[in-house]
Structure 1
Amino acid sequence: MKIKLALFTLLLASGTSQPLAAQSFEGPYVGAQAGWTQNKLGRVETDLGTARVNSSKDAVAAGIFAGYNIRPADRIVLSGEAGVLFGFDDRLTRSYKDAVATINPEYSFDLGVRAGYLVTDRTLVYVRGGYENVRASVRLLDLEGPRRGKDNLDGWTVGGGVERLLTQRLSARLEYRYSDLGGSGSKFERHQALAGLAWHF
């Protein structure tokens, strides 16, 4: 009798856990993330003029994100995701000849897609790509006099990571991103390593 009861309990557990596993990484989610950012700037064309920074700086970034997962196939996950990241102590300043240039990437918006594969029912490995826009404060001091203002620097971003379900609703992720926010003779590259937690609805 005890053996039959144990077998019945095992079958019942496996039967109820399978639908939950099938529903993992489906639907909307929101989350928070933080990590390391390295901004590498060269000659940057801004609305105020040319800023010759030619420097890089490591900093901390933190923000929030939201997205939606779909499962077009058994182990394939596709996602649309948007997020905002705030930079801390990432101001870059460079003095050269008779000029001083300062650029402070205050925060950024990103909009992209993810394509992933479930190596287990709870572990997703993915790549991502999309658009990123950085809102920066700019200060220039040269022969034309002092100038200060805001500018939008945008470009593309690619990356990848791994996400693991901790519970049926909560997941943790580790992710790397590379962004190119230059163009038209500008150089603004960004490397990021981010850790995040997401809540799935």
Structure 2
Amino acid sequence: MNKSIALILATASATALAVPAAAQENAAFTGPRIEGIAGYDISKAGSSVDNDLNDEDDQSIDGLLYGVGVGYDVALGGFVLGAEAELSSSTAKTEIVDGDLEDLGFGANLETGRDIYVGARAGVLAGDNLLVYAKGGYTNARFNLLANNGVDEIETDLDLDGWRVGAGAEYAMSENTFVKLEYRYSNYSEGEFDFNDDDFFDDDTGESDRFDADLDRHQIAVGFGYRF
């Protein structure tokens, strides 16, 4: 009887110690987080668009990706589920070239603007400090267009709606700090022009009708963050 009691007490003690240990092991991937990101960004016409009409035009624009993100994760055993949001931008830009238009005094410049992303991610623990995950959600990107006819300038924002998917790995350097590396693909399929000069529209909305689009975006991002 004494041996049975001792065995029960030993088992209960081991279980009680194991629960905090497991919780501590997953603490690096649980709770709210904030992070800074940087990386490579490239945008180009999608598969349904013929962008080879002018050999002088850039067929894609690329530059430095930078931004901030926030999120909240919950560890469930060996799995991690989370929600996240991100605000980023890019240095990618180009000058739209057309010899015939240039002779007439026309020109245009296109710059990448802000990008808003809201989504979720799900991952598995590949080790005590390593999370491998996939992600997906909604993204809204803005491109800034400045055109001129040699006399007047027109500033236009192109807003595009689309979706994003990606995959990455996150390494917990401690319970509160982490680094990550991920690849993201975005496709924008619908958009509208927002003119800064409302005189173009009788209703003073400054917005064009929505139209179909096809723009692909590829990004490789590294991040450093803090978990609260």
Shorter-chain TM-score range: 0.7 to 0.9
1:153 and 2:180 aligned:
no
CA deviation after TM superposition for structure 1 residue 139, in Å: 2.5
| Structure 2: distance between partners of 1:179 and 1:38 | 10
Q: Which residue of 2 is the match for residue 130 of structure 1?
A: 137
1:22-71 deviation digits (Å, cap 9, x = unpaired): 3231111111110001111476xxxxxxxxx6620221011110000012
1:80 corresponds to 2:86: no
1:28 aligns with 2:32: yes
Which 10-residue stretch deviates more, 17-26 or 31-40? 17-26
Alpha-carbon separation, structure 2, partners of 1:132 and 1:57 = 18
AA aligned opposite 2:141 = V
- 1:91 aligns with 93
Distance (Å, rounded) in 2 between the aligned partners of 1:189 and 1:54: 14
- Identity between Structure 1 and Structure 2 (%): 28
| AA in 2 matched with 1:198 | G
Q: TM-score, normalised by structure 2?
A: 0.69
Determine the C-alpha separation between the residues in 2 that align with 1:22 and 1:134: 34
Question: How much has 1:106 moved relative to structure 2?
Answer: 1.7
Is the CA contact (8 Å cut-off) linking 2:28 and 2:174 kept in structure 1? no
1:39 and 1:189 in contact (8 A); partners too: yes
**From 109, 115, 119, the counterpart of 2:126:** 119
Q: CA deviation at 1:131?
A: 0.8
Match for 1:178 among 176, 185, 205?
A: 185
Using the TM superposition, give the Cα deviation of residue 154 of structure 1 relative to its aligned residue in structure 2, in angstroms: 1.8
- Structure 1 alignment gaps of length 5 or more: 1-10, 44-52
For 1:110, the equivalent position in structure 2 comes to 117
- Aligned position for 1:166: 173
Q: Does 1:193 align with 2:223?
A: no
- C-alpha change, 1:133 and 1:160, in structure 2 (3 Å) is same
CA RMSD of aligned residues (A): 2.5
Cα distance in 1 for residues equivalent to 2:168 and 2:109: 32
1:61 aligns to 2:65 (yes or no):
yes
User: Partner letter of residue 79 of structure 2?
Assistant: I
1:112 Cα offset (Å): 0.7
Q: Distance in 1 between matches of 2:30 and 2:181?
A: 19
- Distance in 1, matches of 2:154 and 2:189, equals 21
Give the helix-richer structure, 1 or 2: 2
C-alpha distance in 1 between matches for 2:32 and 2:134: 18
Which has the higher Rg, Structure 1 or Structure 2? 2
Report the 3-state secondary structure (helix = DSSP H, G, I; strand = E; otherwise coil) of the residue aligned with 1:168. Answer: coil
TM-score in terms of structure 1 length: 0.78
What is the distance in 1 between the residues matched to 2:214 and 2:108?
Answer: 14
**Cα distance, 1:19–1:185 mapped onto 2, change above 3 Å:** closer
How many pairs are equivalent?
A: 177
SS of the aligned residue for 1:182 comes to strand
| Aligned-pair CA distance for 1:141 | 4.8
Q: CA deviation at 1:146?
A: 4.9
2:43 aligned with 1:39: yes
Contact 1:63 1:84 in 2 (8 A): yes
